Structure 1
Amino acid sequence: MRRNCGSETLIPDVEIIDIAEEGKGVGKASDLVLFIDKGVPGDMVDVSVYRKKKNFAEAKITGFKRLSSHRTEPFCQHFGVCGGCKWQHMTYGAQLQYKQKSVTDALTRLAKTDLTGLEPILPSAETQFYRNKLEFTFSNKRWLTGADDITPDSIDMNALGFHVPLRFDKILDIEKCWLQADPSNEIRNKIRQYALVNQLSFYDLRNHEGALRNLIIRTSSTGELMVIVVFAYADDELINDLMEYVKQEFPQITSLLYICNQKKNDTIFDQEIHVYAGRDHIFEEMQGLRFKIGPKSFYQTNSRQAHELYKIAHDFAGFTGNELVYDLYTGAGTIANFVARSVKKVIGVEYVPSAIEDAKINSTINHIDNTEFYAGDMKDVLTAGFMNQHGKPDVVITDPPRAGMHADVVSRLLEMEAPKIVYVSCNAATQARDIALLKEKYDVKRIRPVDMFPHTQHVENVVLLTLRMVEQN
């Protein structure tokens, strides 16, 4: 029974039956689909609808009638405000269950795929402190929470932390983040304290004023550490004083860098990198391979689980040692170099020229001489002429961004007719869309989801497609 209370509608006894990508529970009231903040499948709740559309509504929980067996206590003090770990209120076992479900739903609904080859999701060995890179934002517009002790004279609006969801100009001040191992939290907190004590100005994201913009921290499995401080303008005294403080407080930093970014956006790919102390890079290791990681380099942010992901891709490919492999969206050549010793040759293609330079360096570092890398838009590079020059691939490995592959790239793959395609994706929906097109000539043989990011809705998925044999008349 629904009843109105002011501008909100109260609905009792709603059972949460699923969970949506944004961490909201899914329930139904008659024909109305409800997306419910912090609902967990199995909960029975009373809710208040605060936003209604034609076929669905958004609601918040006003009371519990039954708690789900999947519900658990969040361990982070910032849960519910920070947008990072939206599934933290659900047990890890349940997270895996619903990630696997999201993959199967996408493949059956969008690709009409036979799930005979579906294998169980691979859990992450680490569910806390698993990221090797975090980026924080300085702001003079701190997001105020109910936990803030606010009086007219005590409001400090400076913050160093993460963007509040849907509020580009508001930053949640982070005391402890459970995503990156020490000394990440200590570095961030000490830099913030230094800035406050020395009255350095935090960036105004609307007016584009203030000295301090961003802080990027990268760690590696080798124990090396990179810290990048991004300033909004070049004040030599301010920069030198802060960087010297960081250097003295954290002598274990391998690569201490800074950037002066005077643009209105935060991207650093077009910015000059200044080395204050140490090297301009750190090293990552995986299965006896070393990878050079610079401030602009792409590397999977869960190092340990990336190794497991690549092992699955390698296994799905079933290499015999004589294959020519095309590695599409190769990035810094991580997968290409990972499989190079198992095949005859690898051709890597990537849109970002700097990533291709990283890929070449990573081959050189590891004394790998059977790789070649090319930069350019995938749909423009991957032509019939390119294949004629380099040969028809025996295996294509493709690991595109969340948007999936351009339709022209899918068409090229259909024309190419490689016997095997190993499709690695961070978005099961766009992967399923592409597979629906590839099914014209390919069959899905194996599927394996991989959890790279515990406590979030994100899931990687690896699919093996094999070329269908066509009988000749």
Structure 2
Amino acid sequence: MKAKGTSGSAPGKHRGSGKSGAAGRAGNSAGNRGKAKEVPAWMADLPVKIGQQVEAEIVGISHDGEGVGRANGFTLFVAGALPGERALVRVEHLKKQYGYAALVELLETSPDRVAPDCLIYEECGGCQLQHLSYEAQLRVKRQQVVDNLVRIGKLENIIVHPTLGMADPWRYRNKAQVPFGEERGGLIGGFYAQGSHRIIDMEACLIQHEANDEVVARVKEIGSRLGIRAYREETGTGLLRHVVVKVGFRTGEIMVVLVTNGADIPRVDEWVAGIREALPAVKSICHNINVRQTNVIFGDETRVLWGSEVIYDYIGDVKFAISARSFFQVNPVQTEVLYGKALEYAALTGGETVVDAYCGIGTISLFLAQRAGQVYGVEIVEEAISDARKNAALNGMMNVHFEAGPAEVVLPEWTRQGVRPDVIVVDPPRKGCDPALLATILELRPRRVVYVSCSASTLARDLRVLVDGGYGVAEVTPVDMFPHTVHVESVALLVR
């Protein structure tokens, strides 16, 4: 799961076909029977031109991990460039207010630049920041949070702590979702090249647990030996679409999920026997059927081919059952850090009533239940609520109640039943909280709101609503859940 390059042409998802300069213009001319393509008036007035090579001062880094450059006063996004660098770049695409350019040559190099450890970093699109030192990554992520609070939330002078990073920011992912293809008569499996659906075959992904690499390697080997064909998007033919691997960091248990384009797997008993023989730590082998022409990984039906339907892992002292399709945080080490900060901000003394909106399979709810009087978790996905109840039973926690439905509907109903939350915790998806939920929070007026966010921009937007409704942002702590990528999670404390 690696990322775009740090030198050369550095192709990226904004750059279209990859044709550049004279080659691209020649193609356009031939297609128009020699007629020059008319340049829009607004483009003619810009200080840079498509195909032009210009010097750019890199002054920042975007939310996509691209260098933010200035050339002749114009903003250019440059994949692979870092703040503090001066670079020769080639302009490839222009908008009225900004453009995109390819990195041609570094003229001055940032002291924070490092050589990526991954061998396929320049091809793969999974990471974006391996060419930036880890200490600098943590600074960039904090600044991303600050910038969003100021620009989007209009929230200034907020305490934003340094990003909580990892002592060892490698091999942290407990789940791999690997697309499969074919090459030279055998199976390949890896990750998609930046901005495409071309599979980059890989032997090792340095942010995945080593067990994930081992499973993928063995599945390739066994599948190729058994003559299994990979799914082809363009024709909808072939069988093996993805292999999903989940590993319990504390338990060492492994689940393998074969996602196929059809209900039948040829020589399935040999496949299962081969996986069990090669990988004794595997406790579950599942089969998910997805016959739709879609880029969604899972279909609706999952079967157990061998072993258990779940594996187990821990966050702190709380044990969780993890099924093939259940959501579980992919970085268990930092999840404990993230939830620990949420628990600190909740300031529980043992008697409080806590509501956990967007509770999923109950991960935060059960973490908080260790210190709260009563926890109420709500989640719109009924399957997740079923898993949450099982996880509460697994841990013998009787002070947790879970209910399926929209939080903005369920919370008022709980209020009518006499539930008065002292603390509300929200951990919404990337799109942020539903406006109706924010309105409900303001009506219920809990003493504290703890907002766990995976998007700095929607965090800033939602905090603005809560501040306008009478809350103050006490502090925010960024947490690095995904080292070497641009993503940053945050925990914000609001008090009434």
Normalising by structure 2, report the TM-score. Answer: 0.87
**What's 2:253 paired with?**
224
**What's 1:177 paired with?**
205
**What's 1:159 paired with?**
188
d(CA) in 1 for partners of 2:318, 2:374: 17
User: Which one-letter code corresponds to 2:428 in the other structure?
Assistant: P
Of residues 225, 230, 234, the one that matches 2:263 is 234
> Partner of 1:189: helix, strand, or coil?
helix
Do residues 258 (structure 1) and 258 (structure 2) align? no
**What's 1:392 paired with?**
420
Answer yes or no: is the 8 Å Cα contact 1:247–1:277 preserved in 2: no
Change (3 A) 1:88 1:458: same
Do residues 436 (structure 1) and 452 (structure 2) align? no
d(CA) in 1 for partners of 2:347, 2:338: 15
Query: Which sits farther off after the overlay, 343-352 or 275-284?
Result: 275-284
- The correspondence of residues 167-316 of structure 1 with structure 2, limited to 5 A, is 167=196, 169-221=197-249, 222-265=251-294, 267=296, 271-316=300-345
Answer yes or no: is the 8 Å Cα contact 1:396–1:420 preserved in 2: yes
Which ranges in structure 1 are unaligned for 5 or more consecutive residues? 143-154, 468-473
d(CA) in 2 for partners of 1:390, 1:258: 45
Q: Once the 2 structures are TM-superposed, how far is the Cα of residue 175 of structure 1 from its aligned partner?
A: 2.2
Do residues 63 (structure 1) and 105 (structure 2) align? yes
Answer yes or no: is the 8 Å Cα contact 2:125–2:195 preserved in 1: no
User: Which one-letter code corresponds to 1:9 in the other structure?
Assistant: G
Q: Once the 2 structures are TM-superposed, how far is the Cα of residue 270 of structure 1 from its aligned partner?
A: 5.4
**CA RMSD, Structure 1 to Structure 2 (Å):** 1.9
% same residue: 34
> Partner of 1:273: helix, strand, or coil?
strand
User: Which one-letter code corresponds to 1:336 in the other structure?
Assistant: S
Q: Once the 2 structures are TM-superposed, how far is the Cα of residue 23 of structure 1 from its aligned partner?
A: 2.0
Deviations 1:187-233 (A, max 9, x none): 21222133334332110112211011110001112211111111211
> Partner of 2:389: helix, strand, or coil?
helix
**What's 2:407 paired with?**
378
Deviations 1:43-75 (A, max 9, x none): 211011111221111111111211110110011
d(CA) in 2 for partners of 1:139, 1:78: 17
Q: Once the 2 structures are TM-superposed, how far is the Cα of residue 390 of structure 1 from its aligned partner?
A: 4.4
User: Which one-letter code corresponds to 2:237 in the other structure?
Assistant: E
User: Which one-letter code corresponds to 1:10 in the other structure?
Assistant: Q
> Partner of 2:341: helix, strand, or coil?
helix
Change (3 A) 1:408 1:460: same
Answer yes or no: is the 8 Å Cα contact 1:135–1:215 preserved in 2: yes
**What's 2:81 paired with?**
39
Q: Once the 2 structures are TM-superposed, how far is the Cα of residue 97 of structure 1 from its aligned partner?
A: 0.7
d(CA) in 2 for partners of 1:101, 1:236: 49
User: Which one-letter code corresponds to 1:136 in the other structure?
Assistant: V
Answer yes or no: is the 8 Å Cα contact 1:443–1:466 preserved in 2: yes
Change (3 A) 1:27 1:262: same
Of residues 342, 352, 363, the one that matches 2:381 is 352
Answer yes or no: is the 8 Å Cα contact 1:327–1:349 preserved in 2: yes
Normalising by structure 1, report the TM-score. Answer: 0.91
- The correspondence of residues 404-415 of structure 1 with structure 2, limited to 5 A, is 404-415=432-443
> Partner of 1:392: helix, strand, or coil?
coil
Query: Which sits farther off after the overlay, 299-308 or 287-296?
Result: 287-296
> Partner of 1:263: helix, strand, or coil?
coil
Do residues 25 (structure 1) and 67 (structure 2) align? yes
Change (3 A) 1:11 1:269: closer
Change (3 A) 1:121 1:115: farther
d(CA) in 2 for partners of 1:294, 1:5: 50
d(CA) in 2 for partners of 1:130, 1:288: 19
Q: Once the 2 structures are TM-superposed, how far is the Cα of residue 254 of structure 1 from its aligned partner?
A: 1.4
User: Which one-letter code corresponds to 2:256 in the other structure?
Assistant: V
Deviations 1:332-355 (A, max 9, x none): 111111111211100000011111
Answer yes or no: is the 8 Å Cα contact 1:268–1:296 preserved in 2: no
User: Which one-letter code corresponds to 2:277 in the other structure?
Assistant: Q
Deviations 1:72-92 (A, max 9, x none): 001111112211111011100
Q: Once the 2 structures are TM-superposed, how far is the Cα of residue 267 of structure 1 from its aligned partner?
A: 4.4
User: Which one-letter code corresponds to 1:186 in the other structure?
Assistant: E
Do residues 447 (structure 1) and 480 (structure 2) align? no
d(CA) in 1 for partners of 2:157, 2:336: 25
**What's 1:425 paired with?**
453
Answer yes or no: is the 8 Å Cα contact 1:42–1:70 preserved in 2: no
Deviations 1:268-315 (A, max 9, x none): 665332222221111111222211111111111100110011110010
User: Which one-letter code corresponds to 2:401 in the other structure?
Assistant: E
Q: Once the 2 structures are TM-superposed, how far is the Cα of residue 174 of structure 1 from its aligned partner?
A: 1.8
Change (3 A) 1:55 1:460: same
Paired positions, count:
449
User: Which one-letter code corresponds to 1:351 in the other structure?
Assistant: I
Of residues 364, 373, 377, the one that matches 1:335 is 364
Of residues 143, 148, 159, the one that matches 1:117 is 159
**What's 1:318 paired with?**
347
User: Which one-letter code corresponds to 1:292 in the other structure?
Assistant: A
